[in-house]
Structure 1
Amino acid sequence: MAEAGDAQTDAAVDRLIGLMARLPGLGPRSARRAVLTLIRRREALLDPLSQALADVAATVRECDRCGNIATGELCAICANPARATGEICVVETVADLWAMERAGAFSGRYHVLGGVLSALDGVTPASLRIPELVARVADEATREVILALNATVDGQTTAHYISGELSPLGVRLTSLAKGVPIGGELDYLDDGTIGAALLARRAL
């Protein structure tokens, strides 16, 4: 098959292939196959996908409260009064939030940091949504903050920093049990492991 960018591909198709190849898990070959499938099944796949992408681009934003994906000021979780349990589960990314939700073991609200502290990458506390977390804990009569951060060096460094920031507020701080393996990322764990780790969380 011709490579993207040669004389056998139209410029518009070549651009689409190039954009698709940037997606996680898709290289140039997979992107070409995906684009060919979309073109061959235009009415069933390409047109609905185009509309869905346009809708998402026009409406999706960050939740003002927790940083989750939303189509309004608040995401569905923050807008649900039943989730106001006094518990906030802190995660690194939206993908981690979705992983926790798939496990179905947590009924409170979340806070997405947007990453973890990393001296090598220049990620400082000011780069993350840590000040917003401290403000939420103070404003929302929070009883417990669960630090569901990935069991990496940077994740544990971030958990330690957050613990120091929240300790003056007197809130209970817990972390996931070690059923989450060292180096493991929530988005790649099965639902049972996440659920068990959440139920066996420990005080920091």
Structure 2
Amino acid sequence: MVAYSPRLARLIESLRRLPGVGPKSAQRMALHLLDRDREGASFVARSIDEALEHVGRCPSCRMFCEGGNCLYCSPSRAESGQLCVVETPADLLAIESSTPYRGRYFVLMGKLSPIDGIGPEELGLSLLAQRMGGDRVSEVIIATNPTVEGEATAYYVAEMARAAGLKVTRIAHGVPMGGELEYVDGSTLAHAFSGRQTLGA
């Protein structure tokens, strides 16, 4: 078994918290930062500290923002009357970079999963209901991932939107079942978004 000094072990373990980073990758990153890029390591550490201190969630859409100035809740975005519901900030960014959509968003920060203790309150659905009840919303675009949990979440949100008398659409074409929006190529995502369909009652 490899033995590390206590602080090196802690650094490696902290890097393993990143998604997709296993023991070997974490070790390689830690050794690189300490051996070849200590200035870069300091920059990363400062950037993380500053982000933790200054980046919060928008009280309206729940996307990450600084100082209450959300880039995705500007008055110009309200003109379309569209509200796109996504699971994660990464999904929002994927839509922004690959489609012409420039309406408003609501970020669930997850999906319904009772087995994991994630219900409507954890997803901020009471806040979403408030957004649907006012704020010049005429159409709710559901862009949850096509997984079992994502479909259940889409159904729940669609029922909320219909109860509020709103048009409900769902992105459909081109996104594979079981896929994640974050990893779908841009042209496929753009096609899926432009080909969204109205959900049946």
Give the TM-score range, shorter chain: over 0.9
Match of 1:108 in 2: 103
Task: Determine if the alignment matches structure 1 residue 157 to structure 2 residue 152.
Answer: yes
Q: Name the residue aligned to 1:81.
A: 75
Instruction: Report if the CA contact (8 A) 1:64-1:74 is conserved.
Output: no
Give the counterpart letter for 2:191 in structure 1: A
Determine if the alignment matches structure 1 residue 42 to structure 2 residue 38: yes
Q: Does 1:139 align with 2:141?
A: no
Secondary structure, aligned partner of 1:127: coil
- Which ranges of structure 2 fall in alignment gaps of 5 or more residues? none
Q: CA RMSD in A?
A: 1.4
Q: Which residue of 2 aligns with 1:120?
A: 115
Following superposition, the deviation at residue 166 of structure 1 comes to 1.9
Q: Give the Cα–Cα distance (whole angstroms) in 2 for the partners of residues 121 and 11 of structure 1.
A: 33
- Aligned-partner SS, 1:134: helix
Letter of the 1:191 counterpart: G
Among candidates 66, 91, 102, match of residue 96 of structure 1: 91
Secondary structure at the counterpart of residue 51 of structure 1? helix
1:86 deviates by 1.2
* More divergent stretch after superposition (16-25 vs 116-125): 116-125
Q: Tell me how far apart the structure 2 counterparts of residues 160 and 131 of structure 1 sit (CA, whole Å).
A: 16
- Contact 2:85/2:107, CA 8 A, preserved across alignment: yes
**Any residues of structure 2 matched to 1:47-62 within 5 Å, and which?**
47-62=42-57
**What is the identity, as a one-letter code, of the residue corresponding to 1:36?**
L
CA distance in 1, matches of 2:195, 2:158: 19
Q: 1:28: Cα distance to partner?
A: 1.2
Deviates more, 1:9-18 or 1:54-63: 9-18
- Offset, 1:197: 0.7
Q: Could you tell me which runs of 5 or more consecutive residues in structure 1 were left unpaired when the two chains were aligned.
A: none
Identity %: 40
Q: Provide the aligned length of Structure 1 versus Structure 2.
A: 197
Are the structure 2 counterparts of residues 122 and 54 from structure 1 closer, same or farther at C-alpha, using a change threshold of 3 Å?
A: closer
Runs of 4+ aligned residues of structure 1 deviating over 6 Å after TM superposition are: none
The alpha carbon displacement at 1:120 in A equals 2.2
Q: Which amino acid aligns with 1:194?
A: L
8 Å Cα contact 1:143-1:171 kept in structure 2: yes
Instruction: Look up the SS of the partner of 1:120 in the other structure.
Output: helix
